[in-house]
Amino acid sequence: MKIIKRSGVESVFDRAKIENAVKKANITVEEDERLSDGEVKDIALDIEERCGRMDRAMDVETIQDWVEADIMKHGKYTVAKHYITYRYERSIVRQANTTDKQILSLLNFENEEVKQENSNKNPTVNSVQRDYMAGEVSKDITKRFLLPDDIVEAHEKGLIHFHDADYFAQHMHNCCLVNLEDMLQNGTVISEVMIEKPHSFSTACNIATQAIAQIASSQYGGQSITLSHLAPFVQISRDKYRKEVRKEFTELGITVDDETVNKAAEMRVKAEIVQGVQMIQYQVITLMTTNGQAPFVTIFMYLDEVPEGQTRDDLAAIIEEMLKQRIQGVKNEKGVFITPAFPKLIYALDEDNVREGSKYWYLTKLAAKCTAKRMVPDYISAKVMRELKGGDVYTCMGCRSFLTPDRFTDKGVPNIAKAKNYQKGKHKYYGRFNQGVVTLNLVDIACSSGKDMEKFWKVFDERLEICRRALMIRHERLKGTASDVAPILWQNGALARLEKGEKIDKLLYDGYSTISLGYAGLCECVRYMTGHSHTDPEATPFALEVMRYLNDACAKWKAETNIDFSIYGTPLESTTYKFARCLQTRFGVIEGVTDKNYITNSYHVHVTEEIDAFDKLSFESQFQALSPGGAISYVEVPDMQQNIEGVLAVMQYIYDNIMYAELNTKSDYCQVCGYDGEIVIVKEDGKLLWECPNCGNRDQSKMNVARRTCGYIGTQFWNQGRTQEIMDRVMHL
């Protein structure tokens, strides 16, 4: 049985240490007020049994809370008081410097929590360690100087989660839609070097990847680009090749007609599309940003973003090649093709590609094959999105964060970003961004109410007020930021073309950017308050009422501030484990509510609940409509490579019923024995481990495991809470 020390280091549980700690407090009081030796032993045994029942490594703070409670149960309040005093004195000593031990344990590869904090970061790599070290310092500064004590306390108790505190000390925002069109068509500057408009498709792809790396190093969330911004450069290459081919034939003394010239040029165009797409895929994967990971980038594939005709056909050719190369995958260190985590792909379904007989149906079939093999692309229904987003269709910024519909254009707000591709009267999405996120733990609100509905709404209001204040602190942290902090973003076209020294403040209002109120655990919240799953017709109305309450709060805040607050279905990764641990500490183990080492992401149906894929998508669509700042639904499916018709059926159902969804498959490889089936999760000594069922390999450095966990694919493994959630998933198809 293991415990987790304050430094994050995992250690073996030792009952004797509890006995010794209690004895030290015991001997400081009068003899008649002391615990007997038997009572001390009973307390230590009770703690050991409780740790065993929790089925995970317990943290030291929780264990010490239990010890305090057990001492008081024995009526030895003076001993408890001395034990508490000792803890307090030790905490004062620790607060004098709160980062040293965490950083040292990180450098020694001992910090289990950091190892499993991000499923796309390898904590043994120097650049990742450097980022984590800076993050520890930032979190320390944030907690001690930048946030009020009550918000820090709410965060540490798991009442809320103040996201990305490891970057908060700097003036950085969350995620964005890159205005790649402006950067490519009108030139940009990268690392103080002028980059002019490219004269070929492959050069445009190269510039795009360099921009992606720079942008990733200037913010902490995901970025999205669209292939439609690259499509016009295919024609530039085509025109260039036609001139070159004609010149070559002329120099060889060969007379040719236009048709022959065009055919020869088209062969070169096709080869350049292959080269350009390959450049994007491999550079994105192999680039290392200052965040210590490959850029978290999403590529949007939407045919109707460009006019019908040659440009749309060129875009279709780029999309086709992107899908073909993703189906192939990338080679691991053993030379075996595997599934990469990035770039994330999103394919938009619309009338010209969603049904057999439509012009681009062949692309949709290719997308289905890609999903079956590599888990991407995900799917946006243009039909449903138009209904929910005021007639517009656009991609998300990260794995699920969506901008609010453009309202500033209709209000007559001018070109505040000074973009060179600005079109008066046209709604704008590329160049916009999200200011940050604070997430509300709905399960804690429910448990804090004791099932008293009146108290539930009262606690809800109190927690919303904490979130509002925390979000405004995020906003104020960005306010006054000079464009010089990230020239690629604010001066050179990715988000704006502001002057040097100019503040970004005007981009924080009028809906140009968003700020997100996240939420988690709707499923467990509803189960606690009603005794039913939120899929039960008796409980669904309450679940919807909770969602509307969140939206009403955001609408009120927006009216008061002119800032676009928006409801965001938080993609909990490590936080799902943190929230679960905090709930168990505060309320114990409640069946169906706090009895797992994770809580459910956003509005999702619980991963253990048996439900049909189509019923799940239909049910969750009503909640997706109430989560305008970010939402994604998924269905868990088996290997579908021999059932592409089944994948297509799900895709068509997505188009008709829900805005944004994905199919979760599995893609694994054991480097020891070559097994390419599913790597399984096993339990040993209370800990979940990954194991090859063919050879028994448990060395994570010698296996490739890809799972979608929070809307994106993770490949660096997960903490114990998320691993249990993955293990518990049931199939929906």
- Residues serving a catalytic function are 174-175, 397, 399, 401, 434, 568, 573, 711
The owner of tokens 């655990």 is 521
Neighbours of 610 (CB within 10 A): 8
Please state, as a whole number, how many other Cβ atoms lie within 10 Å of the Cβ of residue 297.
Answer: 23
**Contact call for residues 297 and 252 (beta carbons, < 8 A):** no
Q: Both tokens of residue 226?
A: 């669209």
Gap between the Cα atoms of 273 and 500, Å rounded: 37
Q: C-alpha angle with apex 496: 490 to 498, nearest 5 degrees?
A: 65
Spatial neighbors of 218 by CB under 8 A, at least 6 apart, are: 172, 485, 486, 488, 489
567 strand-pairing partners: 517
Q: List, edge to edge, every strand of the sheet that includes 58-59.
A: 10-12, 2-4, 58-59
CA angle 611, 614, 616 (to 5 degrees): 45
Cβ atoms 705, 713 nearer than 8 A: no
Alpha helices (runs of H) in 192-231, residue ranges in sequence order: 201-216
| DSSP state for residue 197 in the 8-state scheme | P
Residue 261, helix vs strand vs coil: helix
Measured CA to CA, the distance from residue 597 to residue 709 in angstroms comes to 15
For residue 295, whether the previous peptide bond is cis, meaning omega lies within 30 degrees of 0, is no
Say if CB 223 and CB 296 are below 8 A apart: yes
Burial string for 200-221 (b: 16+ CB within 10 Å, else e) reads bbbbbbbbbbbbbbbbbbbbbb
Q: Where are the beta strands (DSSP E) in 692-733?
A: 703-708, 713-714
Q: To 10 degrees, the CA torsion angle through 273, 278, 281, 282?
A: -150
Are 173 and 485 in contact, with CB atoms under 8 Å apart? Answer: no
**β-bridge pairing 434-441 and 514-520:** parallel
Q: Dihedral of CA 290/291/292/297: which sign?
A: negative
**396 vs 403: CA distance, rounded Å:** 7
Q: What angle do CA 556, 558, 560 make, to 5 degrees?
A: 70
Compute φ and ψ for 176, nearest 5 degrees: -160, 165
Q: How far is residue 260's CA from residue 245's CA, in Å, rounded to a whole number?
A: 9
Question: Backbone dihedral region of 689: left (phi > 0), alpha (psi from -120 to 50 degrees) or beta?
Answer: beta
Q: Are 98 and 140 in contact (CB under 8 A)?
A: yes
Length of the chain in terms of residues written: 733
> Residue 679, SS3?
coil
CA-nearest of 65, 67, 129, 63 to 102 is: 129
